[in-house]
Structure 1
């Protein structure tokens, strides 16, 4: 480990102190939240048009004229890097007749030109040229009918936008978790997997799922050999801004597991060998020693293997730090990457949504290829992730997430049953209840 000023190191390390438990109201979480179009319309007006959302990666907007497009509900968003190097976000709609302005997911253009009638805007959104400019009896639209801009900020390697012109700054919206996530070199991670799935389930079922670990031993049965799921051994935290955090110990079997040595060593063999540990040394009931041994080895060998772990606590070297960011983001952070998860509302149907999974890989310094333990395949630093899109069940979001995807459509169907009225949550599902109560608070705003 490289030498650091202890005061500087302390400033960089994430705050791991336990947060006080919130007082929860226990409002019924009834099926109408996932089914009714009227509830969906309220969410659009009070949630989606008021919260910070991610448009894409900052590394997609490196050069002047680079642009990306994204969608949220029925809105299309356009982000550009201008001639002044500023990144801006606009509604992706021409001011002439309402056509979507830029139709490609990304590209580079010195002018943003409508394909219908050729109205051309500069990279700052100002209308610069229209055909037959003198033919407008109300006067030239140039410089007057400009693109509608919205707040846009960059953080952690992502480009964020907010449709509310009066929104709070991004870091104020994120609160203390921004400093915690900053302990990971997020901007250095590369998107090596990019999947978008259209699913027959409401977006909140996704966020509910990632707000609790109660389901883990049943939906993800193999994970119990390499991760702790029990609320007795995990830490859950709730933040005033509506976001939550979970620490899940990794690199070893859950405390409740008896046996499973073979499965644990098979799952961790490649990582153990990478960090110069012999899997055979952990036979005979010693698998619970792996976690601390891996932490020591990563601390000892990290710099030589191309990593800077100086901003990590020891536990971050093996454990899963999982953040749910209101309303619809989840970061599952690991020492060498991030499973980035997001659900977006459907344009019109409350019983459908779009689910996005990115895997962000942290390549060791100087490495051009890397084996992604989570996705179980080799990835290249020079090959951009192909955007794979399709229906649930037809394409894969990775072994673990596919197991979640099997559950959500069945749950959506079950919510229609006359035999189900409301939730009955365990204490360890407090983050899910906190999510819904935060949702209620936003919907109650004038």
Structure 2
């Protein structure tokens, strides 16, 4: 199975039309699905082994012999770029006695050699050499006991894999949102932050959270000065493939905010300076003018400052376009980057998961440093992101995401309460309900 290289895209304006509202069943989202081992095992068989997942970045596999490893639940996956320039994915396990073949997260090698007994595979996964080859009474294993290959494709600067040999192609799985995300130069973004947190909460709480903005003014109180959260002023869409999107106006206070001029101007000062706008012009109740002024200024100065905004709608120049990709991915797209969010299931415990946050920065052409206003620090194009790993509360995933991380462990505990039976969702939480109904469809083989 050769890699299908999908990152050569024809960038064009995204379809922003409102999608028809789905017919939701309204089934109870009962708490057991967040801590039942039986439910976890069913998810493994029906969802994790059948859906497209991201192994890493395509730029990590630029050269022949490059490899990366990743984990998903109980499985370990290995991706390589072969001598024929094809990217492939395999189960990361030696066919001799079952040891994990490659232990390092990444590297470059001519052959994939097991550290236990020295069985050596080429970059296509073919077993080429074993010590004492003549000593096998059943015949040499070379060329017969090869690595088990699984579907692998590249798109948007990421390497994807799927453990289902009969899976649909990645673009079909993604549906119309693939073309929309392609309006951003994803393959040009650099990973400048990389955090993995082991959390005491079920993975679905993460996807629930990123499927609604109802919590924003309470969990992220500072965001109301620079982003719109109200469902009255945002656009929510559901797609038949199970994915969703949300458009949230940015670069100004939410409609419900009264005052807050100081906070808005402080939060946007670096953005205004970069685009040569004077904060003093927005004092006296004029902060709501910033959004449209920034759009005009970015359109006017974008090329001069090293950006190609030709495939952006004006609203993309200021707003947050947020995509939830079934089952466990979120792309929170900004004009100059992407907060990439993912929850992966724990190997054995349904009340734990691994939460990954990458920040992907779009550097202006020719720039070596950039101020990431989302992460609130300067980042360098030449410094690879250090992979920071730890427990929730011990390491940071950035100011906004840390606020979410404080909620999930307490929510996990609350789901065990005898006083909580099921959900009671508002209309604006329809994307969360849609996620759970899609989950149920996969579990019942309806997808």
TM range (shorter): over 0.9
User: 1: distance between equivalents of 2:261 and 2:379?
Assistant: 29
- How many pairs were matched up? 437
Q: Distance in 1 between matches of 2:362 and 2:251?
A: 18
Residue 221 (structure 1) shift: 0.1
What is the deviation of 1:273? Answer: 1.0
Measured after TM superposition, the shift of residue 163 of structure 1 is: 0.1
Distance in 2 separating the partners of 1:373 and 1:33: 37
Q: Which residue in the other structure is 2:85 paired with?
A: 85
Question: Aligned partners of 1:302 and 1:115: how far apart in 2?
Answer: 51
Which deviations, in whole Å up to 9, do the C-alpha atoms of 1:353-407 show, x marking residues without a partner?
Answer: 0000000000000000000000001100000000000000000000000000000
| Structure 2 length-normalised TM | 0.97
Aligned to 1:320: 320
2:11–2:182 CA contact under 8 A, matched in 1: no
Matched, 1:359 2:359: yes
- 8 Å CA contact 2:11, 2:183 repeated in 1: no
CA distance in 1, matches of 2:369, 2:81: 29
Match of 2:289 in 1: 289
C-alpha distance in 2 between matches for 1:221 and 1:424: 23
Q: Which residue of 2 aligns with 1:330?
A: 330
Q: Deviations over 1:104-123 (max 9, x none)?
A: 00000000000000000000
Residue matched to 1:305 = 305
Report the equivalent of 2:111: 111
Unpaired stretches in structure 1, ≥5 consecutive residues: 1-9
The within-5 A match list for 1:43-82 is 43-82=43-82
Whole-Å separation in 2 of the counterparts to 1:223 and 1:11: 31
Q: Does 1:261 align with 2:261?
A: yes
Aligned 1:95-244 pairs, distance under 5 A: 95-244=95-244
Rounded to whole Å, the distance in 1 between the matches of 2:270 and 2:192 is 20
* 1:279 Cα deviation from its structure 2 partner: 0.2
> What's the offset of the Cα at 1:432?
0.1
Structure 2 distance, partners of 1:272, 1:42, is: 50
Aligned to 2:245: 245
Q: Distance in 2 between matches of 1:125 and 1:436?
A: 37
1:46, distance to aligned residue in structure 2 (A): 0.2
Can you list the C-alpha shifts for 1:145-179, whole angstroms capped at 9, x where unaligned? 00000000000000000000000000000000000
Tell me by how many angstroms 1:89 deviates.
0.2
What CA distance in whole angstroms lies between the structure 2 residues aligned with 1:86 and 1:324? 29
In 1, the alpha carbon distance for the partners of 2:210 and 2:11 equals 29
CA distance in 1, matches of 2:445, 2:142: 38
Q: Secondary structure at the match of 2:298?
A: helix
Equivalents in 2 of 1:177, 1:114: separation in Å?
40
Q: Which position in structure 2 is the counterpart of 1:31?
A: 31
- State the distance in 2 between where 1:114 and 1:180 align: 42
SS in 1 for 2:306: coil
TM-score normalised by structure 1 residue count? 0.98
Distance 2:57 2:188 in 1: 11
Q: Contact (CA 8 Å) 2:29, 2:436: kept in 1 or not? A: yes
Contact 2:156 2:187 in 1 (8 A): yes
Instruction: State the distance in 1 between where 2:433 and 2:189 align.
Output: 32
2:70 counterpart SS class:
strand
Tell me how far apart the structure 1 counterparts of residues 342 and 357 of structure 2 sit (CA, whole Å). 7
Structure 1: distance between partners of 2:272 and 2:17: 29
- Specify the SS of the correspondent of 1:12: coil
How far 1:409 moved relative to its partner?
Answer: 0.2
- Output the aligned Cα RMSD: 0.8
Aligned to 1:6: none
Does structure 1 retain, via aligned residues, the 8 Å contact 2:157–2:186? yes
Specify the SS of the correspondent of 1:124.
coil
Number of the residue aligned with 2:390: 390
| CA distance in structure 1 between the aligned counterparts of 2:117 and 2:247, rounded to whole angstroms | 54
Match of 1:348 in 2: 348
- Structure 1 residue 11, shift from structure 2 partner: 7.4
Rounded to whole Å, the distance in 1 between the matches of 2:62 and 2:181 is: 23
Separation in 1, partners of 2:419, 2:32: 14
Q: Distance in 1 between matches of 2:277 and 2:378?
A: 21
Question: Would you identify which runs of 4 or more consecutive aligned residues in structure 1 move more than 3 Å?
Answer: none
3-state secondary structure, aligned to 1:378? strand
